[in-house]
Amino acid sequence: MTTPTTPATTRTDTAPHEDAVETPSQPGGVQPGDVEHATEVPGSGSALSPVQHPDGDQPDPQAPDAGVADRQAARSHRQRPTSAAFRELMASGWSPADETAPALAASAPFAAARRAEVSRLFPGERLVLPAGPLKTRSNDTDYRFRAHSAFAHLTGLGGEREPDAVLVLDPRPAGDGSGDGADRGHEAVLLFRPRTPRTSEEFFADARYGEFWVGARPSLADAEAELGLVCRDIADLEDLLGAGDAPLRVVPDADPALTARVASLRAGAGADADASAVADDELVVALSELRLVKDAHEVEQMRLAVEASARGFADIVRSLPRALEHVRGERVVEGAFAARAREDGNGVGYETIAAAGEHACTLHWTRNDGPVRGGQLVLVDAGVELDSLYTADVTRTLPVDGRFTDAQRRVYQAVLDAADASFAVVRPGSRFRDLHEAAMRVIAARLEEWGLLAVSAEEALSEDGGQHRRWMVHGTSHHLGLDVHDCAQARREMYLDAVLEPGMVFTIEPGLYFKGDDELVPAELRGIGVRIEDDVLVTADGCENLSGMLPRTPDAVEAWMASLRG
């Protein structure tokens, strides 16, 4: 996935990847109200402002928007049972819940070490990291839940867990037996909606959270055993946030209602709003920079994500005959990879680019609604996100017929040479920006050789030049991990200007894009777009191409495609 030359300067650390589109959790089938006598209780969509309907039909009169809820209930089209007999029947006759405690998750000790580092950076302060609420796709249909990456990093939770949850790093008070020093560290507390008993009406009446509708949640004891964390009911969050006089920092925008509540608490304590915003930004930056160097568990997850993605690219090659026959062949390509991503992982890590022909010259072509024709190239930029939420990000440009034309091969080889030049400088001690500069030297030289530059390659590469960037406007590399553009809120000196260290994972992805209406290039190159993207791990003495199992040279690509097509 391409990225601008420099990381984003606006620090939110909460927005999803710009191309990522989540999949609705209720795409079809049974919807609230489709089952006769089903009773729906809307959820709050926030960790702090639940509007519950305790009796399954009547809104809570104490809720701030109870009047609105009353009016909504009055025009409900759902058939809601209200009899005591029905409620009594729903509360009885169920087998006891399985109380077997889950094993400690493999990610738990690594998440604990990450929390300890964050604790060290912010002594004596209360840190609030929301998972985020469910997000409405349309009316009463939600997107699949995907937790904020900082929350996932520090808890080890993945998949679709746990909407509305909040991780609080609570500073330990003096005299708690944790030591006499000024910094007594933090107690990590995970607050979430635990499993409710079958006697609760939430079980059958809440279409957003109820077990009958969306499945069982873990108990507090289950979560503690799995994650190695102190776990409490989300209902306790208000008391925890307001306890004592510890300064508050929150990851803003992950949960707007919670962010607003923290702001209210700060205002009540006389905190300056501008200073608080700076404090939150410092937390966001620290959490982003914490992910710059991956630990052993993260590296393992990256390997698995790339391996699953490689299987997805093989599926794409096998799908090409069908893509050729379909009016929207790009969707066939996209669907082949999406099926693999969902089967082998949590889904795609970002919206797949399946760009055939001239569409490959649109950097983030995600419409994928065009045909795939013989003689074209198809550029596919895709990555599997695992249940752990770590994602790969791989691009291959494939000849639809299985063989490159001379013009396609010439462009492809130039891009490959640029990628190889970038690989050659990846080692501890190099700077991150060196990767881009190495690739650009090759790109500028090739464009000069082909007569496309009105100036020399040397002049184009100068600070006052940049003419070669007409045909590659994006950067060469970006960090990769829980976010496809990982660590994006890191300071410039920790990202672009940083010295490479073992454990860093990033992409190398040069490209050349000659649009069909580009009058500055010869006709035989127009409509050709090529990008080659690999996922790279810095090692003690160099680097490892994690996606190296996928062919890269033109001859190897052709042989691989032939082997898959039989």
Each residue's pLDDT expressed in tens, for the chain with a length of 566 residues: 887 654 443 333 333 333 333 333 333 343 433 333 333 333 445 666 443 333 344 444 444 556 776 776 677 777 778 899 999 999 999 999 899 999 999 999 999 999 999 999 999 999 999 999 999 999 999 999 999 999 999 999 999 999 999 999 999 987 655 555 456 899 999 999 999 999 999 999 999 999 999 999 999 999 999 999 999 999 999 999 999 899 999 999 899 999 999 999 999 999 999 999 999 999 999 999 999 999 999 999 999 999 999 999 999 999 999 999 999 999 999 999 999 999 999 999 999 999 999 999 999 999 999 999 999 999 999 999 999 999 999 999 999 999 999 999 999 999 999 999 999 999 999 999 999 999 999 999 999 999 999 999 999 999 999 999 999 999 999 999 999 999 999 999 999 999 999 999 999 999 999 999 999 999 999 999 999 999 999 999 999 999 999 999 999 999 999 999 97
**Looking at 289, 310, 330, which one is the last position of a domain?**
289
Rg (CA), the chain: 26
At residue 169, the 3 state secondary structure works out as: strand
What pLDDT is recorded for position 19? 36
Instruction: Say if 24 falls within a structural domain.
Output: no
For residues 271 and 198, membership in a common domain is answered with: yes
Burial of 180 (0-12, 13-18, 19+ CB in 10 A): exposed
Contact 183, 174 (CB under 8 A): no
Query: Are residues 282 and 311 both part of a single domain?
Result: no
Is 163 domain-assigned? yes
Enter the DSSP assignment of 234: G
Query: Is 185 within the bounds of a domain?
Result: yes
Burial 210-244 (b: 16+ CB within 10 A, else e): bbbbbeebbbbebbbbbbbbebbebeebeebbeee
Whether 96 is in a domain gets the answer no
**Contact (Cβ atoms closer than 8 angstroms) between residue 404 and residue 413:** no
The CA distance from 325 to 331, in Å, is 12
Please indicate, yes or no, whether residues 277 and 372 belong to a single structural domain of this protein.
Answer: no
Same domain, 251 and 319: no
Chosen domain end from 254, 289, 324: 289
For residues 503, 507, 508 and 511, what is the CA-based torsion angle, rounded to 10 degrees?
A: 180
Q: Per the structure, how many domains does the chain have?
A: 2
Domain boundary among 289, 311, 327: 289
Task: Find where tokens 């060469």 sit.
Answer: 476
Q: Are 271 and 346 part of one and the same domain? A: no
Q: Tokens 């940083």 correspond to what residue?
A: 498
Do 359 and 504 share a structural domain? yes
- Residue 531 sits in a domain of what CATH number? 3.90.230.10
> Is the sign of the CA dihedral 454, 455, 456, 457 positive or negative?
negative
**Cβ atoms of residues 211 and 188 within 8 Å:** no
* β-bridge pairing 230-233 and 186-192: parallel
Q: In what order do the strands lie in the sheet with 126-130?
A: 230-233, 186-192, 166-171, 126-130, 248-250
Q: Indicate if 514 and 371 belong to the same structural domain.
A: yes
Q: Are residues 529 and 409 in the same domain?
A: yes
Q: For residues 349, 351, 352 and 354, what is the CA-based torsion angle, rounded to 10 degrees?
A: -170
Helix, strand, coil in percent for the chain, rounding step 5: 35, 15, 50
Count of helix runs (H) and strand runs (E) in the chain? 16, 17
Pair (439, 459) in one structural domain: yes
The CATH number of residue 277's host domain is 3.40.350.10
Residue found by looking up tokens 């184009």 in the block: 460
Residue 121, token pair as written in the block: 């950076």
Q: What is the pLDDT of residue 82?
A: 82
Is the same domain home to 389 and 256?
A: no
Flag whether 327 is in a domain. Answer: yes
Give the pLDDT of residue 223.
98
Q: Kindly state whether residues 340 and 191 are assigned to the same domain.
A: no
H/E segment holding residue 259: helix 256-268
Same-domain status, 201 and 137: yes
In a domain, 382, yes or no: yes
Nearest to 477 by CA among 515, 430, 407: 430
| Strand partners for 381 | 353, 395
pLDDT reported for residue 175: 61
Residue 148 included in any domain: yes
Tell me how far apart the alpha carbons of residues 549 and 411 are, in angstroms, rounded to a whole number: 22
Q: By residue range, what is the domain housing residue 278? A: 108-289
SS3 204: helix
Q: What backbone torsions phi and psi does residue 237 show, to the nearest 5 degrees? A: -60, -45
Residue 79 lies in a domain: no
Tell me, what's the pLDDT at 176? 57
- Position 281 scores a pLDDT of 98
pTM: 0.89
Q: How far apart are CA 534 and CA 550, in angstroms?
A: 9
